[in-house]
Structure 1
Amino acid sequence: MKPLHALTVPALGMTLLCLPLGAGAQETDPDTGLVKAEGWETVRDNCVACHSANLVTQNSGSRNHWEKLIRWMQDTQGLWEFQAETEETILDYLAEYYGPKEGARRPALPRTLMPDNPYPTVADPG
């Protein structure tokens, strides 16, 4: 049996790192980066019409989180109201493919667990 060359093992490791993750790997749209799955075109057509798809692909959250973002955009950014079926499709897709990530930043601490602010929050008029 021929011994492995010292450069073969690292090269093999780098090759494995570049391979898709098998059956769990998701195909993405080359233009937006969105996962190509049921509902992705609805998200593309409604969300990317106003902002970069990066705002979707770089974020994550529960269905409730995404719904709150939609409401915020409707209340403050001029986002139109969706038909119920369109909104359901968008929320289903976002919750499934851009849901909470394990190992992501932890949620904010409740105010009751935080220390008091040592800085004045109102300027002293004196």
Structure 2
Amino acid sequence: MRWLTRFFARQPAAVAQSDVLPADVLAALEAANIIPRVGAHAADTESETGGETRAIIMLPGRRGFRFDGETGARALRSAFPELNDAQVARGVRFLSARAAIAAQDKEAWLNAEPEPPKWSDWKPLPRW
């Protein structure tokens, strides 16, 4: 009869590593300040990193760091030691996407055409 209990006994379910970020970590990553490097620095960064987006990222309450895959993972592990490998990888992908969007926004802002003057900007000529 002992074999019956072993056979029908419930096996503990294997706990899969979830890559879902906790709410507090996600809020911190969304609140991170991102300073992209574009424009004059683009030639320097492309030769060093192979065209990867370079940015300075400052997590709330922490120092800024120059973002790439390794430093991003290291910074997330030091800021949030409770994260597993899958969560750290997802956090790095999230920060990478935010850095790319910030770089695109800054590039678009730098390359924008200045607006022509409007009638409300008119000023009379100075008198001599």
Q: TM-score, normalised by structure 2?
A: 0.29
Indicate the structure (1 or 2) with the bigger Cα radius of gyration.
2
Name the structure where strand makes up a greater proportion of residues.
2
Greater RCO, CA 8 A, separation 6+: 2
Name the structure where helix makes up a greater proportion of residues.
2
